Structure 1
Amino acid sequence: MKIIIPMAGIGSRLRPHTLTIPKPLTVIAGKSIAQRLVEDIAVGINEPIEEIAFIIGPASKGFPENTKEKLERIAKNLGTKGSVYVQKEALGTAHAIYCAKESLTGPCIVAFADTLFKASFTLDPNVDGTIWVKQVDDPSAFGVVKLNDGIITDFVEKPAEFVSNLAIIGIYYFKNGDALRNEIEFLLNNNIKEKGEYQLTNVLEFLKEKGTKFVPGKVDVWMDCGKKDPTIDTNKQILGFEYAKGNNLVSDDVVLENSKIIPPCYIGENVVLENTTIGPFVSIGENSVVKNTTITNSLIQTNTQISNASLDNAMIGNHVKYNGKYTSVSIGDYTELI
């Protein structure tokens, strides 16, 4: 089994937090979105992983120079090979996958690093592919599927009129990765675009017309990381899941001076808390200092200094200095409000 992770998008809806780092590398409860996605899939499929292929954007789109090294380390920690490809130009979902064409062989799972989830990954050996879907209130913002007797019959990209409320969440299993590669190649060679881009939904339709049978996969929890408020809610859900499993989320070297931590919280290494109450549902990255502050339900990144604040539903980036009265703030990297 191979895992293909397209993650070249910069996440403009999550700005200012994605001005200096792309959304898939945003850290939630101590791990990047991309790392959490890969680990959840690896645990869920419960079978050997031959390779994990990541498709990233160029450095000009905000991807740090050490991105390749970080992603290869994620794969290595899971006991497998890591490959990193670059999508130099954003030309659509199908084009992004094709950037990893050398890795598109044999059975594979394709998962876009846009959201996190809890899902069943039991793969039926008798089907050609699985597409994980979730019921949504507004399907016009998603690609959707139509079903007949448990088989997917139609794929519609962001329908203007209602055809289905089963949204494709960006996770796919293909029994034949070679066939997927060939159909994307046909799409590109014939310049078949929809809404100006090469869409994966068109490729799925080509495969279906040639006899490929797709079934829907069940998603129990779908966690959005597209904007600030949903990302904070995702942090809350993940902290709850990790705490329920009994995982220790607070580093042993945290300095507590007249302070307390109300779980569940993630506190990274070398954090100092003075006259401060943290939690519940707060993540604070490494090398941060918080003084005379109360924080609940918030996501704080690394190397940040916060003082004299009362924060709730806040998202604060890396290397920030914040001293103020506002509560539900969204502050990007390298910002000073003192």
Structure 2
Amino acid sequence: MKIIVPMAGRGSRLRPHSLTVPKPLIPVAGQPIVHRLVKDIAKVLKQPIEEVAFVLGDPAWFGDDVVESLEALAQSLGAKASIYRQDLPLGTGHAIMCAKPSLSGPAVIAYADTLIRAEFDLDPTADSVIWTKEVENPEAYGVVKLNENQEIVELVEKPQTFVSNQAVIGIYYFKDVAVLKDKLQEVLDENVTNGGEYQINDGIKRMMAEGKIFKTGTVDEWMDCGNKAITVETNGKMLQFLKTDGEEEMVAPSVTLDNAEIIEPCFIGENVVLRDCIIGPNVSIGNDCIIDNSIIKNSLIQNHTSIKNANLDDAMIGNHVKYNGNFTSVSIGDYAVLE
């Protein structure tokens, strides 16, 4: 099994936090988004992962440190890491085709801006599985249309009349991804675009037209990381899951507590100093931070940051920040200073 991860976008909706760190590498509950996504997919698949192929953008943005991080991620799964580049933002279909040498055999394609919780077995009768989540407002999403055999027969973008409440979340399984590759090559050769971009859906629709069987794999939780508010919410949800699972260390042994209280669930990284604080619930703090005389809950704080005299709720604070103030709901990027 292979996992293909297109992640060349800059993550503009998450600025300022994505100005210095690519969005898929921003930590949520102590691990980068893409790391959690790939590990959770591997857990759902319940079979060995042979290769993880990452499609990155400009090397000036996705540099050697990013490549090293992704190679380590693949190695942690016992898999080979393959690195490809998408030089121009020409859509999802184009991004997948940038990994053409890896497009063979069974594979999952997953876009690195979402996290999931799921437990299901892949349908062996399906040529492809499109992972979906039941939503209350399907008119705001791309959804699947099902026939009487619960097979997907159409993809409908933001339907004005009810089609189904199963929204496509951007994770796909193909029994042989080479079939999708051939169809996307046709799309590129014929210059079939939507808004100037080549889309994965045009390849999928061609597979459906040839009678390939598509089924749904429904996830229990679909957690977006598109903007500050939803990322903070996702951080809280993931911390709750991690506490229930009990599989990850939530508070590093090197944390220093000086008249400080931690209200679970929280993730506290290495070499963090907490003085005269109440931290939590639903707070993630990265490595080498100092928090002084503060109350923080429902917040996400990255590495090497100093916070004092703060009362924070629903906050997202970047790396190397110095914050001293009496604000509440804030969104502060890397290297900011508020004193």
What is residue 334 of structure 2 aligned with on the other side?
333
1:39-66 CA-to-partner distances (Å, cap 9, x unmatched) read: 0011111111110101111134x32431
What is residue 57 of structure 1 aligned with on the other side?
57
When residues 55 and 158 of structure 1 are mapped into structure 2, their CA distance, relative to the original with a 3 A threshold, is farther
Partners of 1:66 and 1:23 in 2: how far apart?
14
Tell me if the contact between 2:261 and 2:279 (Cα under 8 Å) persists in the aligned partners.
Answer: yes
1:119-139 CA-to-partner distances (Å, cap 9, x unmatched) read: 234112221110011233444
Over the residues paired in the alignment, what is the CA RMSD in angstroms?
A: 1.4
Partners of 1:71 and 1:162 in 2: how far apart?
40
Amino acid at match of 2:319: N
What is residue 146 of structure 2 aligned with on the other side?
147
> Gaps spanning 5+ residues in structure 1: where?
none
What is residue 299 of structure 1 aligned with on the other side?
300
Partners of 1:213 and 1:282 in 2: how far apart?
43
List aligned pairs for 1:1-338, cutoff 5 A. 1-60=1-60, 62-149=61-148, 150-159=150-159, 163-246=163-246, 247-338=248-339
Tell me if the contact between 2:276 and 2:292 (Cα under 8 Å) persists in the aligned partners.
Answer: yes
TM-score by length of 1: 0.96
Tell me if the contact between 1:2 and 1:108 (Cα under 8 Å) persists in the aligned partners.
Answer: yes
Tell me if the contact between 1:120 and 1:217 (Cα under 8 Å) persists in the aligned partners.
Answer: no
Tell me if the contact between 1:51 and 1:83 (Cα under 8 Å) persists in the aligned partners.
Answer: yes
> Percent of aligned positions with the same letter in both sequences?
53
- In terms of mean alpha carbon deviation, does 136-145 or 180-189 score higher? 136-145
1:43-93 CA-to-partner distances (Å, cap 9, x unmatched) read: 111111110101111134x32431111101100011110111111111111
Tell me if the contact between 2:122 and 2:217 (Cα under 8 Å) persists in the aligned partners.
Answer: no
Tell me if the contact between 2:50 and 2:78 (Cα under 8 Å) persists in the aligned partners.
Answer: no
Partners of 1:121 and 1:101 in 2: how far apart?
28
- Aligned length in residues: 337
Partners of 1:163 and 1:121 in 2: how far apart?
24
User: What is the deviation of 1:301?
Assistant: 0.3
Partners of 1:283 and 1:79 in 2: how far apart?
28
- In terms of mean alpha carbon deviation, does 306-315 or 111-120 score higher? 111-120
> Gaps spanning 5+ residues in structure 2: where?
none
Partners of 2:249 and 2:57 in 1: how far apart?
34
